[in-house]
Amino acid sequence: MRDFHYLEPVSVEEASRMLAEHEDDEVRLAAGGTALILTMRQRMLKPTHLISLAKIDRLRGIGFDSQAGLRIGALSRHADIAKSEVVRQHYPVLASMAERVANPQVRNQGTIGGNLCYGDPSTDPPACLLALDASVVLGSSRGERTLPLEEFIVDFFETAIEPDEVLIEVRVPPMKAGAKGIYSRFLRTAAEHRPLVSVAVVATREGADWRDVRLTVGASTPMPMRLRRAEDFLQTQAPTAAAAAQAADIVAQDIMPISDSRGDAEFRREMVRVVARRSLCQLFEISEEGSA
């Protein structure tokens, strides 16, 4: 690995000033480092300066308020989110997603902030957080701003973060009374820790029906995305296996899957269809054949 300077700011402002100061160099932020160090070992990145965020207390902790919702500090590790009592109680879908990320070792080291800033689509958190209508708080020496996750994720490995900004925390609004979330994924083999397909759906039960549907697909597309046509369709439907299948067809139609060595576009499209149908049946609490 190439030689680099290792910097340890203790505040967001200090980190931001360091980023600005080294703007002309190759400078990278390190949270847990699980993804970053791999790219450095493979020489895809050759930073001259590495800024460790580990000493910035502001980026730590998970908190919940019934009005404001959930706050997840950027340095929270996937294991912290999976174990958090408030997450398990108020956002069980998020806890269930977090406890499946990669493998135990990576969950003990990798962070939610690092995951989102890296912008790798083939991971679990982005699609799940998008379905939960999450936002990110970005900070710099110029101040702070909040961006919906949908605007933060711009493209394949690309985010809206400015060169001098640090992701401070993720915010998730409170789930409505009667709201439920399902996060499902498809792995090509049990040993592969990156999903080939992921589907998240969050909706609110109103009588026998499910409304306020947010349905997202990740891992199969260049970036996680909401499927609005399928969401709108579901708003008008009774929760049946036929509706789930039709919505899954709309989802499969509306995505532009990526093609790579792990799976070509048509394979991914078919698996998205399957996972979407199963997720919706799970939400509706019915079998795929239609019986309750």
Residues near other proteins (CB under 8 A) are 1-6, 30, 33-34, 37-38, 40-42, 50, 52, 54, 79, 102-106, 108-109, 190-191, 193
54 vs 86 by CB, closer to other proteins: 54
Q: Which is nearer to other proteins, 41 or 176 (CB)?
A: 41
| Element at 268 (helix H, strand E) | helix 265-284
**Shortest Å, Cβ 72 to other proteins:** 19
- Choice between 33 and 69, CB closer to other proteins: 33
**Least CB distance from residue 2 to other proteins, whole Å?**
7
User: Which residue, 5 or 176, has its beta carbon nearer to other proteins?
Assistant: 5
**Nearest-approach distance from CB 283 to other proteins, in angstroms:** 24
Question: How many Å is the Cα radius of gyration of the chain?
Answer: 19
SS3 letters for 21-74?
Answer: HCCCCCEEEECCCHHHHHHHHCCCCCCCEEEECCCCHHHCCEEEECCCEEEEEC
Query: How far is the C-alpha of 238 from the C-alpha of 229, rounded, in Å?
Result: 16
Instruction: Tell me the closest approach of the beta carbon of residue 192 to other proteins, in angstroms.
Output: 10
Q: Show Cβ contacts of residue 228 under 8 Å, excluding neighbours closer than 6 positions.
A: none
Least distance CB 108 / other proteins (angstroms): 4
When the beta carbons of 37 and 160 are compared against other proteins, the nearer one is 37
Residue 118 burial (CB count, 10 A): 17
